[in-house]
Amino acid sequence: MTDAPDFKRRLRDGDPVVGHWLSIGHPAVAEVCARDADFAVVDTEHAPTDIETVADTVRAVEAAGDGTTAALARAAWNDPVRIKRLLDTGVSGVLVPMVETAAEAREAVEATRYPPEGVRGIAGSRANDYGRDLAEQVASGGDHIVTVVQVETERAAENAADIAAVEGVDALLVGPTDLSGSLGVFGEYDSEAFRETVESVLDRAHESETPVGTLATSEDEIRRWSDYGYDYQIVGTDAGYLASGAERAHSAYDDAMR
């Protein structure tokens, strides 16, 4: 199990950490992507990933990163039971989607904390070496967990300052697809409405020194988001890497056979 405090510190200090998005749900794919990465995110919101697959994928990320790559998981929803089950697999932290208010952000944080600070159930699991380190983990209060909340709607962007200021929120992650859709400019990432909204999220979050990241799906987007001023990036998805690689190979073959 990867120790998360160093990753939390790097986020807090503004280090430009880089990660990958895992949606295929196979440990071998996770191993390929996780090498030399600072973190990797296992998706359970849109990907058909069950909890056992999450656990195996987390093991693969940790092995590939030689214990230095933080394995995170995105919950399907801001729900304490879903979040608890992900944490029990031994992930270093969680991404919580569609958080729109400070109250919802507090609920997300509470789901990662043991009582009395939170509502996470106490049990032996991979996260505490199957009970061997349970007392130590409970005593830590969940401070070792990275909690990232997603800004994906216009309402969330308007409340970004309050969300970012919630104690226990370690970072924000802008979901560009959903946010652009919410603004009525789906996929128009160079539009004035989208750019101004993202800039406002960055400014508001930085008031409380909370880092803001996003997801890129191409090299052009990596450069675009860097120009926007994001603090960290997820630089692509496993399925995207496979698709683009296959397309390039097919194109090269077509060119060679002409």
**Torsions phi, psi for 245 (to 5 deg):** -65, -45
Residue type at 223? R
Q: Please give the tally of structural domains in the chain.
A: 1
**What pTM was estimated for this model as a whole?**
0.96
What residues in the chain have per-residue pLDDT under 50? none
- pLDDT for 143 equals 84
DSSP percent split of the chain into helix, strand, coil, nearest 5: 45, 15, 40
Query: Buried b / exposed e across 215-253, counting CB within 10 Å, b at 16+?
Result: bbbeeebbebbeebebbbbbbbbbebbeeeeeeeeeeee
Asked if residue 207 is part of any domain, the answer here is: no
Residue 126: DSSP 8-state: G
Residue carrying structure tokens 């989208």 = 194
The per-residue pLDDT for 4 is: 63
Q: Is residue 200 part of a domain?
A: no
- Residue 171 in domain: no
Task: Tell whether 110 is covered by a domain.
Answer: yes
Q: Please give the pLDDT value at position 193.
A: 99
The confidence score (pLDDT) of residue 144 equals 86
3-state SS, residue 77: coil
Provide the annotated active-site residues.
46
43 is a domain residue = yes
- DSSP assigned state of 210: -
pLDDT given at position 67: 86
What local confidence, expressed as pLDDT, does residue 3 receive? Answer: 56
Cα gap 26→29, rounded to integer Å: 5
Length reported for the chain: 258
User: DSSP E strands: which ranges in 75-195?
Assistant: 93-96, 146-151, 171-174
Give, in order, the Cα–Cα distances in Å from 9 to each of 145, 146, 208, 211. 12, 10, 15, 11
113: left (phi over 0), alpha (psi -120 to 50) or beta: beta
How far does the chain reach from its first CA to its final CA, in angstroms? 51
pLDDT of 72-120, one tens digit each?
999 999 999 999 999 999 999 999 999 999 999 999 999 999 999 999 9
User: Residue 2's pLDDT is what?
Assistant: 56
Task: Give the angle subtended at the CA of 179 by the CAs of 178 and 185, to the nearest 5°.
Answer: 100
Whole domain around residue 123: which residue ranges?
5-143+212-257
Task: Look up the CATH number of the domain holding residue 232.
Answer: 3.20.20.60
Beta-strand ranges (E) seen in 115-189 are 146-151, 171-174
User: Angle at the Cα of 98 (from 157 to 159), degrees rounded to 5?
Assistant: 25
- Compute the distance between CA of residue 121 and CA of residue 60 in angstroms, rounded to an integer: 26
* Chain mean position to CA 229: 18
